[in-house]
């Protein structure tokens, strides 16, 4: 019997985490006398900050069964899909393909999407697209663990996810073998304890086909060889898009089939009332995300924004642009339109987002010195991290 | 050459260690076990995984070797060429156009009879910018006197690297050898690999000894003088003879390897899969063996007599084995992860090699070219079925309706 797990993670920030989890699965299965492989999605590499990427583990009783999964980019019928950042539930656009892949797309019918999150399953289901079959949503309480290319944050997320996988898919790995593998690979009893706790605490819920985000994710049909332009020539994107009723405004042309918002873990919210229309955000945004409105405001287009945070850093007006965790939003609607429709309501909405400490905590990078230590202590207190109860 | 391989049984301390490592890391382990002297590096995917793995071994104190980061692939191959001439065991490698950029150094190495080991992490030749697997990079040296082998899993990568050193450094041969490893599928996938003990490897692999060809103050010689038409043809003939001798030396090396390590016991040149009674045979090299074997098993369940042959050594090309294995089939489909634009039948490289090897047989199978999996596209189960169906039809009618098919191309 074979079992396969995909781990969907944020490029660079969670590269080591993704690899550790899939390696851990194979090492655990090995303790049961099984064989296995662990590999990353080749097209995702070289990774870029935050762009969704994948790592896989396949385990089988013998080499012959394993063969069906070898020499492939992406197993398509996974027992478990792990999202180690809950904003990935909005969909996955890798830089290696076109279109938005729902997080549960490659999860088999009856399989499980396991998310590390502090949101409830119901909140997550607003993001996860519907699936034409029953599936399970499992939530492992915790904030997304981000680190970097050269550093790794030892907050036990790797082993906690392994413990949770043993719960949702014991035929892939059993908790005892996860524990044995952790002892073998890391020799750390605290980690063994974290895996066991996650195994006991992970919440699982069945999701029916009619539950979830009803939106149809954008797709792209790849052309046939004779439909493509020859000589590796691809047409440019028009410089400007016409927008009706936007006289005096300006919206740059954008690629309709390659967006970037699946990369985003934070988004800017703009206080149009105090904006001085200085143009700096518009000039500095590396992705030309700002639409210039007819009133001369700058509206960050959420289909294009990858959440880098540059605009927040360069805006000269205090608290005019604030990066807010992506999990606080359910759509990509224009902020300026909302502002125009009802300024007071927009102001209230903005205040709510900005004042919520939880959602303004950064997914990566820090707002002030000492925030990392603070977060670690907080995670320990919540029982998520090392040394938790 | 005499190799001390016949003494007492292997001691208990010589147990294999099992590690979860990528194909490239497996090759790095082989280099550690082979006591590599000099390695040069210049990054390009997917080969670069091996240079990272070797750097790590050196940094961890597990391997004591000279690690030189070159300024380009050309320098990378030049440096090891010279190191090999003074008697160092060397390793280097590249991928795609990186390998092509080093071509001047690569092309002259066989005439110098330098037993360099290189890894070609197979990659499409840019442009278009592409990382995925194609075999055209490594195949560029097919006429030049390089030995060329393809591996299909991480364990075989480790084993073949040890075997390749032994064959290349055999004084009867002294030829460079390249290992083709499919980008991504082999280079970047982690599998459980048995890493043998140093004791065992020492019994298998003697020290590199260039003897009277070694550049050394005590051995005053000139290497690679300018020559004219009075000399070149004889030099080429020497290379030809060395390549002819390689066949026997490869067989010896595999036999010894099997005795010492208990692996690689089959035919060194080809792997046969369900070919005994096969009417039609798929033929290919590298990691496409995995989906093809799964497909063959499926078709067998449906009662179709389909088999598969995986080529392990491309140079020297094992003509007798190919003839022997394929003569029994009615139709053979050669799957190429490469192209050869404008070649006979607009087929691909391996196809024309196989077809030519079969020509002298009185009774020979029909041969079809399948161009598949270019740029690292997956060779899917559906593709295997499609190719098998074409072959079964060909076997039935005895006629080649169309010599070449592009399988899995959108159109
Ligand atoms: S966060 Fe700001 S600067 Fe960065 S892409 Fe989005 S709008 Fe542009
Ligand atoms: S940088 Fe700030 S103040 Fe300037 S235009 Fe942008 S939002 Fe307004």
What are the tens digits of pLDDT across the range B278-314?
A: 999 999 999 999 999 999 999 999 999 999 999 999 9
Do A96 and A239 lie in one domain? The reply is no
Q: What would the two tokens of residue B53 be?
A: 């793995």
Domain B270-407 matching CATH 3.40.50.920: the answer reads yes
Q: Whose CA is nearest to atom 2 of ligand 1?
A: A311
Q: What is the pLDDT of residue A384?
A: 57
Do A251 and A356 lie in one domain? The reply is yes
pLDDT tens per residue, range A10-30: 999 999 999 999 999 999 999
Residue A378 belongs to some domain of the structure: no
Burial class (CB in 10 A: 0-12, 13-18, 19+), B395: buried
Tell me which residues have their CB closer than 6 angstroms to ligand 2.
A 270, 275-281, 298, 315, 317, 320-321
Strand-pair partners of A204: A138
Chain A CB within 8 Å of residue B176 CB? no
Identity of the residue in B45, B188, B290 whose CB atom sits nearest the CB atom of A70: B290
Terminal Cα distance for chain B, rounded: 55
Q: Whose CA is nearest to atom 8 of ligand 2?
A: A275
Average pLDDT over residues B238-247: 98
Residue A218 belongs to some domain of the structure: no
Do A39 and A170 lie in one domain? The reply is yes
Do A247 and A145 lie in one domain? The reply is no
> Band of the pLDDT at B6, cuts 50, 70, 90?
very low
Separation of A262 CA from ligand 1 center, angstroms? 13
Q: Tell me the H-state helices in B135-231.
A: 136-139, 154-168, 198-204
Do A188 and A241 lie in one domain? The reply is no
Do A73 and A151 lie in one domain? The reply is yes
Mean pLDDT, rounded, of chain B: 95
Of A135, A127, A82, nearest in space to A261 by CA = A127
Average pLDDT over residues A364-377: 73
Domain holding A338, by residue range, is 228-256+266-360
Do A276 and A200 lie in one domain? The reply is no
Architecture field, domain B17-261: 3-Layer(aba) Sandwich (3.40)
Q: What is the pLDDT of residue B146?
A: 98
Do A105 and A202 lie in one domain? The reply is yes
- Which of A292, A302, A305, A329 has the most ligand 1 atoms within 8 A of CB, as the residue to mutate? A305
What percent of chain A lies above the pLDDT cut of 90?
A: 79
Minimal C-alpha gap between B372 and chain A (Å): 13
Do A202 and A232 lie in one domain? The reply is no
Angle at B291 between CA B289 and CA B294, to 5 degrees: 105
What percent of chain A lies above the pLDDT cut of 70?
A: 96
List CB contacts (< 8 A) between A36 and chain B: 191-192
Residue B135 has pLDDT above 70, yes or no: yes
Distance CA A129, CA B350 (A): 46
Least confident of A149-153, A169-173, B379-383: A149-153
pLDDT tens per residue, range A42-60: 999 889 999 999 999 999 9
Residue A386 has pLDDT above 70, yes or no: no
Q: What is the pLDDT of residue A199?
A: 98
Residue A365 belongs to some domain of the structure: no
Binding site membership of A307 for ligand 1 (Cβ less than 6 Å): yes
Residue A326 belongs to some domain of the structure: yes
CATH of the domain at A289: 3.30.70
Residue A214 belongs to some domain of the structure: no
Q: Whose CA is nearest to atom 4 of ligand 2?
A: A278
Q: What is the pLDDT of residue B10?
A: 47
List CB contacts (< 8 A) between B288 and chain A: 71
Do A168 and A294 lie in one domain? The reply is no
Chain A CB within 8 Å of residue B184 CB? yes
Q: Which residues contact B28 (CB under 8 A, 6 or more apart)?
A: B50, B53, B54, B56, B57
Q: How many domains does chain A have?
A: 2
Do A183 and A233 lie in one domain? The reply is no
E strands in B264-402: 270-273, 280-284, 306-311, 313-315, 331-336, 366-372
Least confident of A239-248, B32-41, B61-70, B129-138: A239-248
Q: What is the pLDDT of residue B26?
A: 98
Average pLDDT over residues A347-373: 80
Chain B CB within 8 Å of residue A72 CB? yes
Please name the residue that has the structure tokens 């060429």: B81
Separation of A317 CA from ligand 2 center, angstroms? 7
Q: What is the pLDDT of residue A360?
A: 74
Residue A122 has pLDDT above 90, yes or no: yes
- Quick check: A27 and B182 CB within 8 A? no
Distance CA A338, CA A335 (A): 5
CATH of the domain at A119: 3.40.920.10
Chain A CB within 8 Å of residue B217 CB? no
Domain boundaries, chain B: 17-261, 270-407
- The pTM of this model reads 0.94
- For residue B277, the 8-state DSSP code is T
Average pLDDT over residues A134-162: 93
Angle at B151 between CA B145 and CA B154, to 5 degrees: 140
Does this chain's domain B17-261 share its CATH topology with B270-407? yes
Do A199 and A319 lie in one domain? The reply is no
């Amino acid at each position: 019997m074979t079992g396969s797990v995909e781990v969907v993670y944020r490029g660079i920030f969670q590269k080591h985490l993704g690899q550790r989890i899939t390696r851990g699965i194979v090492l655990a299965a090995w303790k049961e006398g099984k064989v296995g492989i662990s590999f990353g999605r080749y097209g995702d590499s070289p990774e870029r900050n935050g762009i969704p990427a994948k790592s896989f583990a396949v385990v089988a009783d013998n080499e012959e069964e394993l063969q069906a999964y070898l020499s492939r980019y992406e197993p398509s019928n996974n027992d478990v899909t792990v999202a180690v950042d809950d904003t990935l539930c909005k969909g996955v656009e890798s830089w290696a393909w076109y279109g938005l892949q729902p997080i549960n797309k490659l999860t088999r019918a009856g399989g499980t999407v396991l998310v590390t999150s502090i949101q409830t399953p119901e909140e997550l289901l607003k993001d996860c697209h519907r699936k034409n079959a029953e599936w399970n949503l499992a939530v492992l309480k915790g904030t997304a663990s981000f680190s970097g290319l050269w550093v790794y944050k030892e907050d036990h997320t790797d082993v906690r996810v392994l413990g949770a996988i043993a719960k949702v898919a014991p035929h892939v790995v059993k908790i005892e073998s996860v524990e044995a593998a952790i002892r073998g690979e890391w020799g750390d009893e605290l980690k063994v304890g974290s895996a066991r706790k996650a195994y006991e605490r992970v919440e699982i819920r069945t999701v029916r086909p009619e539950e979830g985000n009803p939106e149809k994710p954008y797709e792209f049909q790849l052309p046939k060889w004779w439909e493509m332009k020859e000589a590796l020539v691809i047409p440019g994107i028009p410089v400007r898009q016409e927008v009706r009723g936007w006289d005096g405004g300006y919206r740059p042309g954008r690629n309709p089939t390659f967006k970037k918002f699946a990369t985003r873990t934070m988004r800017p919210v703009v206080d149009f009332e105090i904006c001085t229309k200085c143009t700096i955000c518009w000039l500095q945004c590396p992705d030309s995300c700002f639409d210039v409105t007819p009133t001369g405001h700058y509206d960050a287009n959420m289909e294009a924004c990858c959440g880098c945070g540059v605009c927040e850093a360069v805006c000269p007006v205090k608290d005019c642009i604030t990066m807010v965790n992506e999990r606080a939003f359910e759509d990509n609607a224009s902020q300026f339109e909302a502002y125009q429709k009802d300024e007071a309501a927009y102001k209230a909405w903005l205040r709510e987002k900005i004042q919520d400490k939880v959602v303004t905590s950064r997914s990566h990078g820090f707002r002030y010195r000492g925030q990392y230590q603070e977060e670690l202590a907080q995670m320990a207190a919540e029982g998520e991290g090392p040394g938790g109860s | 050459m005499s190799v001390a391989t016949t003494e007492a049984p292997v001691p208990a301390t010589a147990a294999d260690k099992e590690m979860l490592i990528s194909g490239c890391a497996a090759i790095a382990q082989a280099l550690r076990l082979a006591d590599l002297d000099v390695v040069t590096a210049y990054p390009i995917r997917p080969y670069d995984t091996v240079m990272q793995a070797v750097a790590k071994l050196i940094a961890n104190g597990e391997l004591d070797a000279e690690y030189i980061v070159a300024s380009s692939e050309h320098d990378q191959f030049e440096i090891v060429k010279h190191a090999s001439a003074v008697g160092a065991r060397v390793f280097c490698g590249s991928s795609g156009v990186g390998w092509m950029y080093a071509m001047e150094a690569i092309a002259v190495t066989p005439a110098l009879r330098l037993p360099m080991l290189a890894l070609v992490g197979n990659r499409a030749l840019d442009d278009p910018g592409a990382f995925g697997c194609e075999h055209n990079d490594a195949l560029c040296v097919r006429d030049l006197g390089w030995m060329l082998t393809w591996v299909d899993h991480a364990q075989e990568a480790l084993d073949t690297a040890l075997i390749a050193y032994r064959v290349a450094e055999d004084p009867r041969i002294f030829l460079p050898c390249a290992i083709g490893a499919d980008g991504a599928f082999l280079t970047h996938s982690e599998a459980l690999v048995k890493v043998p003990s140093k004791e065992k490897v020492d019994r298998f692999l003697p020290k590199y000894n260039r003897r009277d060809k070694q550049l050394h103050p005590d051995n005053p010689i000139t290497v690679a003088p300018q020559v004219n038409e009075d000399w070149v043809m004889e030099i080429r003939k020497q290379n030809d003879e060395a390549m002819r001798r390689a066949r026997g030396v490869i067989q010896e090396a595999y036999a010894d390897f099997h005795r010492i390590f208990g692996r690689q016991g089959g035919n060194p040149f080809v792997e046969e899969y369900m070919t005994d009674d096969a009417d039609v045979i798929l033929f290919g090299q590298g990691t496409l063996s995995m989906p093809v074997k799964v497909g063959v098993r499926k078709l067998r369940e449906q009662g179709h007599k389909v088999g598969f042959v995986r080529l392990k050594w491309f140079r020297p090309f094992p003509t007798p084995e190919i003839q022997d294995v394929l003569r029994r089939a009615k139709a053979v489909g050669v799957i190429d992860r490469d192209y050869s634009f404008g070649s006979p039948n607009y087929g691909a490289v391996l196809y024309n090699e196989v077809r030519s090897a079969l020509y002298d047989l009185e009774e020979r199978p029909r041969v079809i070219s399948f161009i598949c999996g270019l740029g690292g596209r997956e060779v899917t189960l559906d593709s295997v079925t499609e190719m098998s169906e074409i072959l079964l039809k060909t076997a039935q009618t005895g006629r080649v309706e169309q010599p070449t098919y592009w399988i899995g191309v959108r159109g």
